Structure 1
Amino acid sequence: MVATNFQRAVDHVLASEGGYVDHPHDPGGATNHGITRATLAQYRGREVSKADMQALSLAEATAIYRQNYWKAVRADALPGGIDFAVFDCAVNSGPRRAVLILQETLGVARDGIIGPATLGAAGAGDPADIVNRYCALRLAFLGRLPTLKIFGNGWRKRVESVQRNALALATSNASAATPSQPHFPATLEITSMVNLRTILLSRPIWANLVGLASIMLSLAGLDTSGLDTAGFSESLLQVVAGGSFIASSLFQLRRRNS
């Protein structure tokens, strides 16, 4: 029930989604900042091209996230932490699926609509417990999808990251309810690191860097005709993504122990 959680939540989503991606196995097709081509067309009320997708600004992407996902799951009416967990699931799997998983978590009627019964059950429970059970059910749902072998590892890492940050939000919001205690937002790192992580996890950037390196090696007289630049850039991206995850985990562990 903390409206200001939206910016923290969307910063985390933007860091997870990266920039422009056109994965051949992604049923959503080309995306930019996590926004699909169909979503952008619906938001603008007209067809959009891949050039439109590549030019999508962070400001417009953020506006879409607020309108199509945050408001769609009534996140401002949900307790802190739960709001973020449901929002991220809505971005990844659609608002209706995110609400269905929440209703399954709470043990209320599953109609895909956030109403008084769902809000009442969410407000009556322990936010941390609800977040943990929600993320477990979300992983179970993702595990049944046909593209699990392709995207499963990334989905798992994403949900684990969401769970950590949602629990931190739940804790910080609980602390804020006690005026005598100082409140230091536990998820400050996702705001300060979002732009750097978005750049580091951008496939086009790594593809361009590998292509440039291949050209430089060719100019130096080395044969690069057999170099799989696409595969090499994808491997580099996976290494950077893994390093980013480890660094984030170590940062949070150090902060908890300090």
Structure 2
Amino acid sequence: MRSNLLPSLNFTMSAEGGYQCNRADDGNWSGGRVGRGNLAGTKYGISAALMAAVMGDVSSVTPTIMRRITDEQARNIATEHFWQVMQCDALPSGVDLMLFDFGFNSSKERAVKQLQHVAGIARPDGVVGQDTLFKLEHSTPASIAPFLSSNYAEQLQHYLGVSPDGAIGPLTLKAAVEQKAHGAMLIYALATQQEAAYRSFKNFSVFGRGWLSRLEARIVAAHHLLSAGSAPATS
């Protein structure tokens, strides 16, 4: 939802650090791979390669350029290159933040393909179009359920107030339908995909604890947006 852009940006920027430069990190090189382009560093989650795409020139991205990135500039880049590209304005409340923050932290294509997978797109292409939005809107608790791990199925059951056994059966599905928990189920389904992705990354042993901590915070923030979006309007 468009109204969720600011809180989503606030969450993502608060999770990102200042300037750092690590020669072994692909994101610190303007060419997107170790040894390609300039070793320029990252700031506020903006990689040197992304900055090269913004500037249109790999060779122009230097440590000085990266150090000069402001919070406002980082937010503008995140909005244009992630929020808008992934069509977050058109996504359900909470799902927008889950997609945006993971896409920014990982990659747009990976994040969108996960969303399409959960929505039932047969051949995910990493681009949010009308088919993806239609499938997402018309997904049901029964169609989303298989995409939840036992851990997140149990969290969903706590959310619904049913006996938490980590297995989504008829009683859980009935409660999900009655409580209109479509958005919550999507949040937990995306969390499942995102956790699996983090665990598959080659540097999980080094950064995994931080990635999973960010994921849990992302879920909490997404639930806040979901609750705010479903609250009745007051006069």
TM-score by length of 2: 0.72
Q: How does 1:68-83 map to 2 (within 5 A)?
A: 68-83=81-96
Gaps (5+ residues) in structure 2?
29-40, 140-181
Match of 1:40 among 44, 47, 51: 51
Matched residues in 2 for 1:25 and 1:134: separation?
29
Structure 1 residue matching 2:121: 3-state secondary structure: coil
Structure 1 residue matching 2:128: 3-state secondary structure: coil
Gaps (5+ residues) in structure 1?
183-258
Matched residues in 2 for 1:73 and 1:50: separation?
29
Instruction: Count the aligned residue pairs.
Output: 178
Q: Paired residue for 1:153? A: 209
Query: Which residue identity lines up with residue 61 of structure 2 in the other structure?
Result: V
Q: Is the 1:78–1:119 contact (alpha carbons within 8 Å) kept by the matching residues of 2?
A: yes
Q: Paired residue for 2:220? A: 164
Match of 2:138 among 124, 139, 142: 124
Matched residues in 1 for 2:23 and 2:188: separation?
32
Q: Compute the RMSD of aligned alpha carbons.
A: 1.5
Tell which structure's C-alpha radius of gyration is larger.
1
- Percent identity between matched residues is 28
- Measured against aligned partners, the alpha-carbon deviations of 1:48-90 in whole angstroms (never above 9, x if no partner) come to 1011101111111111001100011000011111011000111
Q: Paired residue for 1:107? A: 120
CA-CA distance at 1:147 after TM superposition: 1.0
Matched residues in 1 for 2:109 and 2:130: separation?
16
CA-CA distance at 1:45 after TM superposition: 1.9
CA-CA distance at 1:25 after TM superposition: 4.2
Q: Choose 18-27 or 158-167, whichever is displaced more.
A: 18-27
Q: Larger relative CO (CA 8 A, sep 6+): 1 or 2?
A: 1
Change (3 A) 1:68 1:154: same
Query: Which residue identity lines up with residue 103 of structure 1 in the other structure?
Result: Q
Structure 2 residue matching 1:112: 3-state secondary structure: coil
Match of 2:199 among 134, 138, 143: 143
TM-score by length of 1: 0.66
Query: Which residue identity lines up with residue 16 of structure 2 in the other structure?
Result: E
Query: Which residue identity lines up with residue 229 of structure 2 in the other structure?
Result: N
Query: Which residue identity lines up with residue 124 of structure 1 in the other structure?
Result: H
Change (3 A) 1:24 1:161: farther
CA-CA distance at 1:122 after TM superposition: 2.4
Within the alignment, does 1:179 sit opposite 2:217 as a pair? no
Matched residues in 1 for 2:218 and 2:22: separation?
23
Match of 1:63 among 76, 80, 93: 76
- Measured against aligned partners, the alpha-carbon deviations of 1:156-209 in whole angstroms (never above 9, x if no partner) come to 00111111101111111011xx224x8xxxxxxxxxxxxxxxxxxxxxxxxxxx
Matched residues in 2 for 1:91 and 1:136: separation?
17
Within the alignment, does 1:9 sit opposite 2:8 as a pair? yes
Q: Choose 39-48 or 5-14, whichever is displaced more.
A: 39-48
Q: Is the 1:79–1:122 contact (alpha carbons within 8 Å) kept by the matching residues of 2?
A: no
Query: Which residue identity lines up with residue 73 of structure 1 in the other structure?
Result: M
Query: Which residue identity lines up with residue 101 of structure 1 in the other structure?
Result: Q
